[in-house]
Amino acid sequence: MDNHTMIKKSYSMVLSPNRIIVLLFCSVCMFIFWLSDGNNNVCTYVMSWMANLFLLLRLKDCKRVEGKIFNQYTLFIIISFLYIFGQTLLFSLGIVRIEGLVNGYNINLINKYLLFAVPSFYIFTIPINLLKKQRKPENIVNEEDNATKKSVMIVCGLLLIISAPFYWMEVIDFIRIALISGYAANYVEDGEAMGILANVILLYVPAVAFLIVNTRKKIAKYLLLVMLIVPAFGYMFVGGRGKAMSLLTCGLFLWMTEICKTKKKGKYLLAITLVGVLLLGLFSTLREIRDFSLGTPSEIIAVFISNNLLEGVISTIKEIGSTIYTWIRVEQIVPSLVGFRFGYSYLAAILSCIPSGLIGYSFADDAALDIWLTNEVNADYGLGFSMMAESYCNFGYVGIILIFFVGLFMFYFLSGNIIRNGDIRFKNAVSAIALYIFTNIARNSLSLSVRNIFYGIIIPLLLIKVLRMIMVGGKK
């Protein structure tokens, strides 16, 4: 399929008659809600179901792009949806009453959030329709492709050797702090390394991902996968939900694309779904355990026995969907107390890739909106941030449209299309790394994601390309 045909087909998907009717209906409803006083539960219910409908439309688009329902886009969109609309999803399904959704805020503020977030989510995910369908894997037979394999093995092997000690030290330190002082202490002590060491640690997951797709030996793939996901269970045990989810999502994608070769993936997908539900339930149980610094073994067993799995799933979705309140806090102070940033946080996120030691200024501080918000409202704990809050903080309601470019940036790397005309397995590696980086973007600002993309994808690819050129004598 040539580019002209692909673009024409993409636009036909975006502007199909059925979809236009749905969008017009939703637009009219939202315009009516905008003109209303906003203190109406019906508005909340209808807009919550609009968000659910948009999710289903996007999952259909993901299947069209990849030819299968399980892919990097569906994983990313479902997780992002739970972060952005987790609370309203439970409300729309009748699981949570309006009192639980409001959580002390005026219903008008909840509806303001939905008026911003629902169209933003749809526009943010439009770039899915602009992606090329992945082609089938090709056999590596020629000299240049063999040079690529050797380059990946050498570069990523060295990166893994260099980064692994520091990465595992950080994981152990994170767990140690949580065991001694409770999970919240990590927000205070900030167990993540800074400066050059932080950039070295960022190379661990990319190195493992590239080595998994590069090796042909099944046992080596499994050993590398274990190295990737074992830290996730450590994070889970002490309540590091975000870190655990990122690693597990990355590992799941690599397992399904590089290790699980059977064509009958329906049974595996069902099993993965059940495991996912179980993990959501365990997150809630482990959160209770960490609140009293783990306690005795008998207390831990008692918590596991007393907790209901379904209630645990609901509790976890409510917790990860609490980014709604971050947006509300931002809306209450921007622009009435603090002016719009007009894209500066996005620019600072890009410039934060430059080491502060080289320029004598840290743009990372300007891009860290979570710290800014915590200080602005004088909170005594980390509030986090969200993708929707950052869009509003920069451009107000115009951010509903401009968030398209954030989506374009993310889905480009999720597609793996930064690797042109290469073996699809290496594209899978890039997609897995992007999943690891972007999984929690819905509950944070863009700052860390840009830096992680630079050091976790662009730098390794440049090193691989340079070594490959040397091996083939500078020939393309």
For 213-259, what is each residue's pLDDT tens digit? 988 888 999 999 999 988 888 787 766 677 888 898 899 889 888 88
Q: Are 327 and 388 in contact, with CB atoms under 8 Å apart? A: yes
Can you tell me the distance from the alpha carbon of 440 to that of 80, in angstroms, rounded to the nearest whole number? Answer: 8
Q: Return d(Cα 370, Cα 448) in angstroms, integer.
A: 11
pLDDT score for 316 = 77
State the Cα–Cα distance between residues 209 and 258, nearest whole angstrom.
10
1 or 434, higher pLDDT: 434
Angle at the Cα of 275 from the Cα atoms of 79 and 265, rounded to 5 degrees = 90
Question: Does the pLDDT value for residue 318 go beyond 70?
Answer: yes
pLDDT of 4 > 70? The answer is no
343 C-beta neighbours (distance < 10 Å), count:
13
Pairwise CA distance, residues 11 & 24, whole Å: 17
pLDDT higher than threshold 90 for residue 392: yes
Spatial contact of 373 and 386, defined as CB atoms under 8 Å apart: no
Mean model confidence pLDDT for the chain: 78
**What pLDDT is attached to residue 235?**
81
Closest CA to 377 of 435, 333, 316, 432: 333
Residue 81 CA to residue 59 CA, distance in Å, equals 11
Single-letter amino acid, residue 150: K
Token pair of 37, please? Answer: 């006083």
The whole-number average pLDDT for the span 182-202 is 59
* pLDDT for position 205: 93
- Alpha-carbon dihedral sign for residues 84, 90, 93, 94: negative
Instruction: Using only the alpha carbons of the chain, give its radius of gyration.
Output: 23
Residue 242 near residue 440 (C-beta atoms within 8 A): yes
Main-chain dihedrals φ then ψ at residue 292, nearest 5 degrees: -115, 35
pTM of the model: 0.85
Spatial separation of the C-alpha atoms in residues 336 and 220, rounded to whole Å = 57
pLDDT beyond 70 at 198: yes
pLDDT band for position 409 (50/70/90)? very high
Q: Does residue 178 surpass a pLDDT of 80?
A: no
Instruction: Return the HEC string of 139-171.
Output: CCCCHHHHHHHHHHHHHHHHHHHHHHHHHHHHH
Q: What is the pLDDT of residue 226?
A: 92
CA distance 463 to 405: 28
Is the pLDDT assigned to residue 45 strictly greater than 80?
yes
The Cα–Cα gap between 285 and 304 comes to 6
Decide: 453 and 470 in contact? Cβ < 8 Å: no
List pLDDT tens digits, range 284-300.
566 555 555 445 555 55
Cα(206)–Cα(131) distance, integer angstroms: 23
Domain boundaries, the chain: 3-130, 143-471
